[in-house]
Structure 1
Amino acid sequence: MKMLNDFFAKMKECLIQGPLLVWYLDGFGYRMYEYARDAGCIPYITGTFSVSPVSSVSPSLTNPALATILTGMLPQEHGVTDRSVRKLTYPTIFDVASVSAAWLEGDSVLLKTSFRPKLHTDCDGEGCDAGICRSVQYEIAAKTEFIFAHLHQIDDCGHTCGPYDGRTLHQLQETDSRMARISKDFSGNMLIISDHGMHAGAGGGEHGTDCEEDMLAVWGEYHWR
Structure 2
Amino acid sequence: MKIYNEHIENFGVRVIYLFNTINSFCVLATIFSLGATYLVTPFPIAFLPMVGAAIVIFALMKIADWHPYYVPVALLSLIFLFVAYMPDYQVYAMALAGVAFFYLGVLLVINGGPQVIVGRDLTIPFRMLALCFTSVVPTTLSLPISVFFGYLLTSSVLMTGHVVDASLSLIPLLGALAVNVVGALVVRKFLPDNLPANQYRPSEPIATPFKKVVILNIDGARWDLVSQMNLPTLTRVMSEGSHVENGLLTVYRALTNPAFGTILTGARPQEHGIFDNNLGQSLKVEGLGDLVKITIYGCMHMNHFAKDRWETKIVSLPKIGIQKSDDVAMEWLLDDLRNDKKTRLFVFDYSEADFCGHSYGGKSKQYKEALRKVDERIAKVLEVIESLEDYEDTAVIICSDHGMHNLDHGYRIFRGESYVPCLFWGKRIKAGHVVEKDGMINDIGLTAAWMLGQGYPANAQGQVFDEVAR
Q: TM-score range by the shorter chain?
A: 0.7 to 0.9
Q: Which has the higher strand share?
A: 1
Q: Aligned residue for 1:214?
A: 417
Report how far residue 105 of structure 1 moved: 2.2
Report how far residue 76 of structure 1 moved: 1.0
Seen in structure 2, the aligned counterparts of structure 1 residues 96 and 5 have a Cα distance that, compared at 3 Å, is farther
Q: Aligned residue for 1:107?
A: 300
What are the within-5 Å matches in structure 2 for residues 37-48 of structure 1? 37=230, 42-48=231-237
Seen in structure 2, the aligned counterparts of structure 1 residues 5 and 90 have a Cα distance that, compared at 3 Å, is farther
CA RMSD after TM alignment: 2.6
- Is there any run of 5+ residues in structure 2 with no aligned partner, and where? 1-195, 386-390, 429-470
CA contact (8 A) 2:248 2:422 kept: yes
CA contact (8 A) 1:121 1:127 kept: no
**Deviation sequence 1:92-145 (CA, Å, 0-9, x none):** 101112xx4321121342214131311111354334211221111111111443
CA contact (8 A) 1:63 1:81 kept: yes
Q: For residues 215 and 62 of structure 1, what CA distance do their matches in structure 2 show?
A: 12
Seen in structure 2, the aligned counterparts of structure 1 residues 171 and 116 have a Cα distance that, compared at 3 Å, is same
Moved more, 63-72 or 177-186: 177-186
| AA in 2 matched with 1:20 | V
Seen in structure 2, the aligned counterparts of structure 1 residues 15 and 150 have a Cα distance that, compared at 3 Å, is farther
| AA in 1 matched with 2:215 | V
Moved more, 175-184 or 66-75: 175-184
> For this pair of structures, how many residues does the alignment match?
210
Q: Aligned residue for 1:223?
A: 426
Q: For residues 220 and 124 of structure 1, what CA distance do their matches in structure 2 show?
A: 29
What are the within-5 Å matches in structure 2 for residues 138-153 of structure 1? 138-143=335-340, 144-153=343-352
Report how far residue 161 of structure 1 moved: 1.3
Q: For residues 357 and 412 of structure 2, what CA distance do their matches in structure 1 show?
A: 18
Q: For residues 107 and 5 of structure 1, what CA distance do their matches in structure 2 show?
A: 33
Q: Aligned residue for 1:31?
A: 224
Report how far residue 209 of structure 1 moved: 1.4
- Is there any run of 5+ residues in structure 1 with no aligned partner, and where? none
- SS in structure 2 of the partner of residue 181 of structure 1: helix
Q: For residues 296 and 289 of structure 2, what CA distance do their matches in structure 1 show?
A: 9
What are the within-5 Å matches in structure 2 for residues 45-60 of structure 1? 45-49=234-238, 50-52=242-244, 53-60=247-254
Q: For residues 14 and 103 of structure 1, what CA distance do their matches in structure 2 show?
A: 27
**Deviation sequence 1:148-197 (CA, Å, 0-9, x none):** 11111110011111122111111111111111022211121100121111
Report how far residue 70 of structure 1 moved: 0.7
- Higher relative contact order at CA 8 Å, sep ≥6: structure 1 or structure 2? 1
Report how far residue 5 of structure 1 moved: 10
Q: Aligned residue for 1:196?
A: 402
- SS in structure 1 of the partner of residue 374 of structure 2: helix
Q: For residues 207 and 361 of structure 2, what CA distance do their matches in structure 1 show?
A: 34
What are the within-5 Å matches in structure 2 for residues 1-225 of structure 1? 16-37=209-230, 42-49=231-238, 50-52=242-244, 53-84=247-278, 85-97=280-292, 100-108=293-301, 109-113=303-307, 114-122=309-317, 124-125=320-321, 126-143=323-340, 144-186=343-385, 187=391, 188-200=394-406, 205-211=407-413, 212-225=415-428
CA contact (8 A) 1:71 1:93 kept: yes
* TM-score between the two structures when normalised by the length of structure 2: 0.42
| AA in 2 matched with 1:45 | L
CA contact (8 A) 1:121 1:131 kept: no
Seen in structure 2, the aligned counterparts of structure 1 residues 169 and 15 have a Cα distance that, compared at 3 Å, is farther
CA contact (8 A) 1:14 1:189 kept: no
- SS in structure 2 of the partner of residue 185 of structure 1: helix
CA contact (8 A) 2:294 2:311 kept: no
Q: For residues 25 and 112 of structure 1, what CA distance do their matches in structure 2 show?
A: 17
Report how far residue 36 of structure 1 moved: 2.2
Q: For residues 14 and 217 of structure 1, what CA distance do their matches in structure 2 show?
A: 29
Report how far residue 20 of structure 1 moved: 1.5
* TM-score between the two structures when normalised by the length of structure 1: 0.83
Moved more, 158-167 or 112-121: 112-121
Seen in structure 2, the aligned counterparts of structure 1 residues 80 and 107 have a Cα distance that, compared at 3 Å, is closer
- SS in structure 1 of the partner of residue 276 of structure 2: coil
Seen in structure 2, the aligned counterparts of structure 1 residues 217 and 86 have a Cα distance that, compared at 3 Å, is same
Q: For residues 296 and 208 of structure 2, what CA distance do their matches in structure 1 show?
A: 15
Report how far residue 13 of structure 1 moved: 6.2
Q: For residues 222 and 136 of structure 1, what CA distance do their matches in structure 2 show?
A: 17
